[in-house]
């Protein structure tokens, strides 16, 4: 038996499925004469008659039925092999290794990932959600290419870019009495069981300074490292929280209400990378995707850099550990 080609097999399969040379030619975008010649060459190569002409119609032979079923079975195997090859190819590709603090692990990450995937669908992503200190260490050590952290880097070799400064919001269940207000003042925090970030957090220090300046005494009922936990606890009715709006907006549909806090308290978002390691094209585009995901939050809750700096100077001097 002579050798045959994949083109001949594809021509046979198309004729079998369409039922005519003319229809097969249209699907294959060739002339009917080319289809007939290719089919004849296949029949000669395999020494089998695949179609009979009966009253100007092509009729499949039993051999054609058997050959078609075998081709279908092999085609399924080839498709599976193709998927395996894609997996193997992906395993050999460099991964994009990124990290974020918990505050931006919800909607911001989901939107950034969706946008990134539209351009880099085959690039594997290694995503870590950690506190700012751990993420800085991971970028320095080379475990991560980029990370979103809560403040500027204090480690040698890192470069940081401020992507957003977001004004703090007060969070509580939608049924809370404060939900009727457009904003919450510091005086309205007095007497409330508050859910706050830990005292070493930069935004917490700004809040403490603002409360001291306004001579407002408050009681911290619960302290936690994560703004997302503040929101969850407030939603469950454990008190009134002061949170990053990036975490609050994602729980609005679940019944969480949030209002602007009338105080010089904000949250910062920095993108950090290693200053001596080149960033891939995928890494650069990831930064673009994160900026785009943060843009709606910055438009709604953004604090001008000058105002943020003044607020920070009012209450922040000093603390070393920063976490979310």
Q: What's the pLDDT band for 73 if we cut at 50, 70, 90?
A: confident
Q: How large is the average pLDDT for residues 1-15?
A: 83
Q: What is the 8-class DSSP label of residue 249?
A: G
CA–CA separation, 12 and 230 (whole Å): 66
Alpha helices (H) in the chain, listed in sequence order:
6-18, 21-28, 32-46, 62-91, 107-119, 132-141, 202-214, 227-235, 245-248, 281-301, 305-315
Mean pLDDT for all residues in the chain: 87
With b for 16 or more beta-carbon neighbours within 10 A and e for fewer, the 96-133 pattern comes to bbbbbbbbbbbbbbebbbebbeeebeebeeeeebbbbb
- Give the other-Cβ count within 10 Å of 161's Cβ: 12
CA–CA separation, 286 and 106 (whole Å): 16
Q: What's the pLDDT band for 313 if we cut at 50, 70, 90?
A: very low
Residue whose structure tokens are 């045959």: 4
Q: Let me know: does 126 contact 95? Beta carbons within 8 Å.
A: yes
CA 29 to chain centre: 41
Q: How large is the average pLDDT for residues 23-49?
A: 91
Q: Let me know: does 210 contact 265? Beta carbons within 8 Å.
A: yes
DSSP string, 278-315: PPPHHHHHHHHHHHHHHHHHHHHHB--HHHHHHHHHHH
Q: What's the pLDDT band for 75 if we cut at 50, 70, 90?
A: confident
Radius of gyration of the chain (CA): 32
CA 140 to chain centre: 23
pLDDT at 251 over 90: yes
Residues of the chain with CATH 3.40.190.290: 169-264
pLDDT at 233 over 90: yes
pLDDT at 205 over 70: yes
CA–CA separation, 169 and 257 (whole Å): 10
Q: Convert the pLDDT of each residue in 148-170 to its tens digit.
A: 999 876 666 788 889 999 999 99
- Give the other-Cβ count within 10 Å of 306's Cβ: 8
What length is written for the chain?
Answer: 324
Q: Which residues contact 174 (CB under 8 A, 6 or more apart)?
A: 255, 256, 257
pLDDT at 314 over 60: no
pLDDT at position 307, please? 58
Q: Convert the pLDDT of each residue in 102-143 to its tens digit.
A: 999 999 999 999 999 999 988 999 999 999 989 998 998 888
pLDDT at position 223, please? 96
Q: How large is the average pLDDT for residues 64-82?
A: 77
In sign, the C-alpha dihedral spanning 221, 227, 229, 232 is positive
Best CA proximity match to 216, nearest among 179, 177, 188: 188
Q: What's the pLDDT band for 180 if we cut at 50, 70, 90?
A: very high
pLDDT at 86 over 70: no
Strands 219-224 and 57-60: unpaired
Strands 256-262 and 184-185: parallel
Best CA proximity match to 277, nearest among 124, 140, 105: 140
Residues of the chain with CATH 3.40.190.10: 96-164+269-301
Percentage of the chain exceeding pLDDT 70: 87
pLDDT at 317 over 50: no
> Which tokens hold the place of 248?
């609050």
- CATH fold of 6-91: Arc Repressor Mutant, subunit A (1.10.10)
Class of the domain covering 169-264: alpha beta
Least confident piece of the model among 40-44, 58-62, 74-78, 320-324: 320-324
- CATH fold of 96-164+269-301: D-Maltodextrin-Binding Protein; domain 2 (3.40.190)
DSSP string, 71-115: HHHHHHHHHHHHHHHHHHHHHTSPPEEEEE-GGGTTHHHHHHHHH
CA–CA separation, 153 and 309 (whole Å): 16
Percentage of the chain exceeding pLDDT 90: 62
Residues of the chain with CATH 1.10.10.10: 6-91
Q: Let me know: does 304 contact 164? Beta carbons within 8 Å.
A: no
pTM of the model: 0.66
Q: Convert the pLDDT of each residue in 263-311 to its tens digit.
A: 999 999 999 999 888 888 999 999 999 999 999 999 999 998 765 544 4
């Amino acid at each position: 038996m002579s050798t045959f080609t994949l083109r001949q097999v594809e021509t046979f399969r198309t004729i079998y499925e369409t039922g005519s040379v003319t229809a097969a030619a249209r699907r294959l975008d060739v002339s009917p004469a080319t289809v007939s010649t290719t089919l004849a060459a296949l029949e000669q190569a395999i020494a089998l008659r695949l179609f009979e002409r009966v009253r100007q119609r092509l009729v499949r032979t039993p051999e054609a039925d058997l050959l078609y079923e075998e081709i279908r079975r092999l085609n399924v195997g080839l498709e599976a092999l193709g998927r395996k090859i894609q997996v193997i190819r992906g395993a050999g590709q460099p991964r994009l290794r990124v990290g974020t603090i918990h505050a931006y692990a919800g909607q911001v990450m989901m939107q950034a990932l969706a946008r990134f995937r539209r351009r880099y669908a085959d690039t594997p992503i290694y995503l870590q959600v950690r506190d700012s200190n751990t993420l800085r260490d991971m970028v320095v050590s080379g475990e991560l290419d980029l990370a979103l952290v809560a403040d500027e880097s204090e480690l040698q070799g890192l470069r940081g870019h401020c992507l957003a400064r977001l004004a703090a919001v007060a969070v509580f269940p939608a049924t809370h009495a404060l939900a009727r207000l457009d904003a919450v003042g510091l005086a309205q925090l007095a007497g409330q069981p508050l859910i706050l970030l830990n005292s070493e957090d930069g935004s917490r220090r700004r809040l403490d300074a603002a409360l001291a300046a306004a001579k407002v005494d408050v009681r911290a009922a619960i302290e936690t490292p994560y703004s997302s936990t503040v929101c969850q606890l407030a939603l469950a009715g454990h008190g009134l929280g002061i949170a990053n709006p990036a975490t609050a907006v994602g729980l609005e549909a679940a019944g969480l209400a949030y209002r602007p806090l009338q105080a010089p308290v904000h949250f910062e978002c920095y993108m950090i990378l290693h200053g001596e390691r080149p960033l891939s094209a995928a890494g650069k585009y990831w930064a673009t995707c994160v900026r785009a995901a943060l843009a709606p939050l910055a438009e709604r809750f953004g604090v001008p850099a000058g105002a943020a700096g003044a607020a920070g100077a009012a209450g922040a001097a000093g603390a070393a550990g920063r976490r979310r």
